[in-house]
Homo-oligomer: A and B are copies of this chain.
Amino acid sequence: MVAYGGKRKISESTIRRLSIYYRVLSILEKENYETVSSKELARREKLTPAQVRKDLSFFGSFGTRGLGYPVSELKDRIAQILGLNKIWNVALIGVGNIGSALVGYKEFQRQNFNIKVIFDNDQRKIGSNHKGIKVSDIKNLESDLKANNIEIVIVAVPATVAQYIVDDVVKAGIKGILNFAPVNLKVPGDVFLRNENMSMELEYLSFALRNFMNPSEMDEKGIS
């Protein structure tokens, strides 16, 4: 949970849904909608209207009774809340399989996450170009992070070395880390660490297919 404005507690789920609202509002804006109701917003993402209203109410009163929410304005407000109204300087460590996919990931760019530096320890990769971004030697980590005013670091290195890398990243003063390695990393109390585990959702599918005949069963009877 999260305290906001010194008062209200905001759950992780609410923040995740803000991301979703932001995406839908971007689409609605392109489709030239001026306003949108909580009902319509909910329908588009299989949520409930009450949930949408409650989520938004934690941050203020953005709607008009009888009318709904102003699309562009709400989108901008959410961008502000999520911190998407500024460009984030991001560094990527590791241009292996996953790393190179992230470099070209359109969604990051669209949301103002700007990958400015890439690090690797492979001499064959160092100095080369990945979509216009030069690959730096991991040896220069601390100085290059500072030189580029990096605020967020994405770690896409093998699990075996991830902790060492993260230790160095922390030493360089970085406070936000996104980790793709399947390992629980230790960071000091003043560092935000999030993990992205791509096989978790596949495992969930595996569990579901293995144990149930169809999704509705998961809510109801179930089998052994």
Contacts and interface: CB of A to CB of B under 8 A. Distances in A.
A97 to B, nearest CB: 5
A101 B108 contact: no
Number of copies: 2
Contacts of A46: 184
User: Which bucket holds chain A's interface residue count?
Assistant: 35 or more
A98 B99 CA distance: 10
A35 interface: no
Contact of A104 (B97, B104, B223): B97
Contacts of A219: 1-3
Contact of A5 (B44, B106, B222): B222
Interface of A: 1-7, 12, 15-16, 18-19, 22-24, 44-46, 81-84, 86, 88, 90, 97-98, 100-102, 104-108, 111, 113, 151-152, 154, 175-178, 182, 184, 189-192, 194-224
Given A4-B211, A105-B198, 11 more contacts: A2-B208, A3-B217, A3-B218, A3-B219, A6-B223, A22-B203, A83-B207, A154-B202, A177-B205, A189-B215, A196-B201
23 contacts: A6-B221, A6-B222, A15-B204, A19-B197, A24-B184, A46-B184, A82-B203, A82-B210, A83-B207, A84-B203, A97-B105, A98-B105, A108-B202, A111-B203, A176-B208, A189-B214, A189-B216, A192-B205, A192-B208, A192-B214, A192-B215, A194-B202, A196-B201
